[in-house]
Amino acid sequence: MPGKTLLLVICFTVLCGSLEAQNQFSTSHLQCLPDTVDASALFDAGISSSDGRGVGSIPEEALRRIRQDAEKGDAKAQNTMGICFQKGLGVAKSDSVAALWYRRAAVQGNASAQFNLAAMLTSGRGVPRNYTSAAYWFHRSAVQGVTEAQSNLGTFYNHGRGVTRSPVMAQEWYRKAADHGDAGAMCNLGMMYLSGRDVPRDKVQAVQLIRQAADQGSPFGQYLLGVLYEGGHGVERNSLMAMSLYRKSARLGSSDAMCKLGTLYLFGKGGVPKDPALGLSWVRKAADRENAYAQFLLGFIYEMGEVVPKNYDEALRWCRKAADQELPDAQYLLGSMYERGHGVERNDLEAARWYHRAGGQGYEPARKRMLLFPVNWLDCVP
């Protein structure tokens, strides 16, 4: 059975400085729905916002006009109705109804709706998760010039989600988005150049792209630049600079930076004193923001019972959240909990299913574990 030492090594390697960890697929790293309603649709309805970008609520009369236009077939209004239902602006919040409005606008060619529908299909909010359909709608949106869709499509190609894996196509879509100023694409393209796994290694260009994203104020760019300084990847190692960037990124809401700060304080790394309570608070903040790594780490902490009292129910809950975001580390840990009967009735078949999902992503500990189960692997396909 997987032992405590092995799990600790895996957790520490993934969350405390491994560049490979930054390249793993997680739905929490995709760009998502904007927080504001389409300002142009409100303008058409006779309402404007003070900042020109959107509003946090919608007057009843404006919503009535938008709904009328949407029911008449206006795609922009339909997309706006989708946002209203997803955010609960003037209507009862409903992801499923939001998805219906997005789809109505998307089939008419509305690029924003195509992106929003793809984001829901990716996360499984309001609709069953379907990476193939998500990739289709991201592509439809991307060819119309939506940079967030281009960046997400690059991520799909980079990890083979809904499409045949193609680093060449990933690089192409990342470059398109980066050339239009998309900070997320700059970061992802920079990581490709830094790892050299699928493209020629180019540390100079990697650091340049990530620094450019950080200078634009991108929380993720600042976080990644911190990772580079912490590990001395393409830059001179500087723990103080790394911590400064992590804190700046966390203040801007980066769950990745929150999780990183949490791990550093939990283990007393990166030049900071060991402080389990502070570390746990940062990890919990990140987990509450749907960060898959933080959810995995929180599940691990509850499963081990060294920082907090052991609680298998909480371990299973947080681990499953991360596993559902396709994080292979969490899928492996979840499999081990089923194998050992921690928080659930022991179930070798269910353990094998989770090992299979993690192993299918090339996660080596899970692939080794799969060999120990004398079951029909055809029954283990999720």
Rounded CA gap, 40 and 58, in Å? 13
The confidence score (pLDDT) of residue 50 equals 31
Question: For a pLDDT cut of 90, what percent of the chain falls above it?
Answer: 66
C-alpha distances (whole Å) from 367 to each of 24, 86, 147, 356 are 16, 39, 36, 7
- Residue 56: pLDDT band (50, 70, 90) is low
The confidence score (pLDDT) of residue 379 equals 56
Q: Which amino acid is located at 276 in the chain?
A: P
Name the more confident of 20 and 316.
316
C-alpha distances (whole Å) from 277 to each of 48, 274, 299 are 46, 9, 16
- Residue 195: pLDDT band (50, 70, 90) is confident
The confidence score (pLDDT) of residue 9 equals 43
| The model's pTM | 0.76
The confidence score (pLDDT) of residue 58 equals 74
* 317-331 mean pLDDT: 93
Contact between residue 134 and residue 121 where contact means Cβ atoms under 8 Å apart: yes
C-alpha distances (whole Å) from 301 to each of 165, 201, 259, 266, 333 are 33, 36, 13, 10, 12
The confidence score (pLDDT) of residue 28 equals 46
pLDDT at 6 over 50: no
* 109-115 mean pLDDT: 96
- Residue 17: pLDDT band (50, 70, 90) is very low
The confidence score (pLDDT) of residue 382 equals 52
Rounded CA gap, 134 and 125, in Å? 12
Rounded CA gap, 242 and 324, in Å? 30
* 56-65 mean pLDDT: 81
Rounded CA gap, 131 and 93, in Å? 24
Please state at what angle helix 292-304 crosses helix 4-15, rounded to 10 degrees: 150
* 37-55 mean pLDDT: 41
pLDDT at 32 over 90: no
Residue 86 three-state SS? helix
pLDDT at 272 over 50: yes
The confidence score (pLDDT) of residue 14 equals 41
Terminal CA-CA length for the chain: 22
**Poorest-confidence range of 32-46, 132-146, 148-162?**
32-46
